[in-house]
Chains A and B, each alone.
Chain A
Amino acid sequence: GESVGLHLPTLSVQEGDNSIINCAYSNSASDYFIWYKQESGKGPQFIIDIRSNMDKRQGQRVTVLLNKTVKHLSLQIAATQPGDSAVYFCAENTGANSKLTFGKGITLSVRP
């Protein structure tokens, strides 16, 4: 997979377009998934979550889709805004406690 930082994959979108950020998770036993957004100089911020018994969950301007068959998670952002520019992480939770395992992260860059 890609590394955070120098080798972080980047998605560039036009302001107003929809964004789709994809994530492949590793553990088929994972029960809970979260998307986090990290802006420069800040800690990860919760966006949306989904449990393994669901395929889709919608929030305000965001939708998360879960495909357990291929272990794939996606985050859709409608009408992307400049404020959406950040690094996005998917995280999975396996087991009895809430320790999260994070993916490598994807940079979303919004063009004005």
Chain B
Amino acid sequence: DSGVTQTPKHLITATGQRVTLRCSPRSGDLSVYWYQQSLDQGLQFLIQYYNGEERAKGNILERFSAQQFPDLHSELNLSSLELGDSALYFCASSALGRLGEKLFFGSGTQLSVL
């Protein structure tokens, strides 16, 4: 158990809908990351937060947004969903978000857009 908790484990929804994925980092970790894993693109970095503020942005679509709350949990919001958004979404956390820190991953949320 990595200590990173993601909910829900599975999510099935329809095109055009909006969903929210939730992540609780390991106790004491201040930085949270979101990754998308699909069959054809592998693990793609979406966005990173540190202590409530956005620190780095990757290949995140404008339809997607995220935030980190004062209690350090994070939410990834996906809107106007398309079939191609079906993927595994992972959250990871690290202590301070600095170079050389290990990232600890949650078990992921499997999103299926029908």
Q: Is there contact, CB below 8 Å, between A32 and B104?
A: no
Whether a CB of chain A sits under 8 angstroms from the CB of B37 is: yes
Stretch at the interface among A18-26, A44-52, A55-63, A70-78: A44-52
Looking at B66-74, B77-85, B94-102, the stretch in contact with chain A turns out to be B94-102
A44 touches B56 (CB 8 A): no
Is B55 part of the contact surface with A, judged by Cβ < 8 Å? yes
Contacts A101-B45, A104-B42, A105-B42 hold; do A43 and B94 have CB atoms under 8 A apart?
no
On whether the beta carbons of B99 and A34 are closer than 8 Å, the reply is: no
Question: How many chain B residues touch A (Cβ–Cβ < 8 Å)?
Answer: 34
Chain B nearest CB: distance from A33 CB in Å?
10
Chain A interface bracket (under 10, 10 to 19, 20 to 34, 35 or more) = 20 to 34
Interface residue? B31 (CB, 8 A): yes
Contact B39 A34 (CB under 8 A): no
Report the bound CA distance from A10 to B99 in whole Å: 31
Can you name the residue of chain B whose Cβ is closest to the Cβ of A31? B99
Question: What's the A-B contact tally at a CB cutoff of 8 Å?
Answer: 85
A14 close to chain B: CB less than 8 A: no
Known: A43-B2, A97-B55, A98-B97. A49 touches B43 (CB 8 A): no
Closest to A5 in B: B39
Judge whether B62 is part of the interface by a CB distance below 8 angstroms.
no
Mark A71-112 against chain B: 1 for CB-CB distance below 8 A, else 0. 000000000000000000100010111111111110000000
> Within 8 Å CB of B35, what residues of A?
102
For residue B51, CB closer than 8 A to chain A, the reply is: no
> Which 6 A/B pairs are nearest by Cβ-Cβ distance?
A5-B39, A43-B105, A102-B43, A4-B42, A98-B101, A44-B105
Binding site for A on B (CB under 8 A): 2, 4, 31, 33, 35, 37-45, 48, 50, 55-56, 58, 90, 92, 94, 97-108
Extra inter-chain contacts (7) besides given A98-B31, A102-B44, CB under 8 Å:
A3-B42, A4-B38, A4-B42, A32-B99, A45-B2, A49-B102, A99-B48
13 pairs from A and B in contact (CB 8 Å cutoff) = A5-B40, A6-B39, A31-B99, A34-B103, A43-B4, A49-B100, A49-B102, A96-B99, A97-B55, A97-B99, A98-B31, A102-B42, A103-B42
